[in-house]
Amino acid sequence: MLYYLFDFLENHYNIPGANLFQYISFRSAMAFIFSLGISTIYGKRIINYLQRKQVGESVRDLGLEGQVEKAGTPTMGGIIIILATIIPVLLFAEIDNVYIVTLLVTTVWMGAIGFIDDYIKIFKYDKDGLKGRFKILGQVTLGIFVGAMFYFHPGVNMKEKLPLKYQYTTQEGVPILFGEAKKSTKTTIPFLKNNELDYAVAMDLFGEGLRDYAWVLFIVIVIFIITAVSNGANLTDGIDGLAAGSSAIIVLTLGVFAWVSGNIIFANYLDVMYIPNSGEMTIFISAFVGALIGFLWYNTYPAQVFMGDTGSLTIGGIIAVLAIAVRKELLIPILAGIFLVENLSVILQVGYFKYTRKKFGEGKRLLKMSPLHHHYQKSGYHESKIVTRFWIVGIMLAVLTIVTLKLR
């Protein structure tokens, strides 16, 4: 909203300093500061409100060190992350930008699913919360919406770099290095020579003449990614600071991709896809990172608040949509490797237990407990050490993901 106000003041009254709001870097910095302020200053008030309403976590005794002491800690703290993200975005971003609209819808939608889940657990005294089929239905619905927006909306397109012989300079001295903006089903695929995969071309695997139906494949992939990443974030939210810290690293990395892909100079230098208007997502990302860091102020060990499904499902949904928007969804197994391993640890644990019970009559476990972070807790590691080491691994994966820009 402030963007439009200062744009009006600049165009009609030429007020000094009003043109600062034309710069994404300035608005991103302001979004980060506002978000951090909201999550740290007003976060405490929200925590106190949750305590007064007795929105506390009930803990099952799983034999983990320090677990019983956490009983009664306020949950649903994801509300802090959501508010600290949405308010700065509404203030500083172009809210008619298709990417911003999609991210805001994702935040509210996934936040609502998580909120309902937490509400049922706490106030209806049902530990299972929202039924799994309704969660999946919500994730699938969001996937269809996001996939349709990114495929059919006219504002979602990209420019491909022209071959050297077709590049030229205008009479005004402006170099023309990229072609016209057009719809494209291309995405980035790491470690391959051309570094790109076209979903339309991939449809040839199913038969000839199916390229016009590439949107079906794209939407299915979007649904899978949103479901997998949001569930991975949910599983990672098991010990103090792990999900928020790991997510901040992932989102910051996606911010680099959004900045590079939305800037024609950087896109040309790094020889990556130029995605017009995607740079505006940097403002959302800055606000989101500020919200996560501010939340960590209260969520690091010993936590004063838990994010609950309100926060974890929202975080996963946002990360998935950001990756899809910057055409880096196939890098998620590397970038969000922490989420992937947490997911796999549960799948392998359950699968192996069922297999051994069926074959030997007695179920056996691969890990002492799943998800993976609980395995390390059972092995005697303090949760602060586990979280810090997971963060270090997350940073290594983030650096590897960025390096793939030039690995081809």
Residue 62 is predicted with a pLDDT of 59
Instruction: Give CA–CA dist 179/176, Å, rounded.
Output: 8
- Local mean pLDDT, 10-residue blocks, the chain (408 residues): 78 78 92 96 91 66 60 86 97 94 97 94 84 93 96 90 79 79 86 79 84 91 96 92 96 94 84 88 97 95 91 96 95 95 94 90 88 90 94 96 77
Could you tell me if residue 408 is inside a domain? no
**Do 57 and 237 touch, CB atoms closer than 8 A?**
no
What helix, strand, coil percent values describe the chain, rounded to 5?
65, 5, 30
| 149 lies in some domain | yes
Domain count, the chain: 1
Looking at residue 59, its pLDDT comes to 57
What's the domain range around 349? 2-403
Where does residue 272 fall: left (phi above 0), alpha (psi -120 to 50 degrees), or beta otherwise? beta
Would residue 345 count as lying in a domain? yes
Give the pLDDT score at 96. 92
DSSP class of residue 241 equals: T
316 in a domain, yes or no? yes
The CA-atom distances, in angstroms, between 335 and each of 9, 150, 352, 368 are 41, 21, 27, 26
pLDDT at 55: 62
Longest Cα–Cα distance of the chain, Å, equals: 81
The pLDDT of residue 38 is 96
**pLDDT given at position 208:** 81
Cβ distance 307 to 166 under 8 Å?
no
pLDDT at 299: 93
Helices and strands (H and E) in the chain: how many: 16, 4
Whether the predicted model's global pTM rises above the 0.85 cut: yes
Tokens of 163: 């071959």
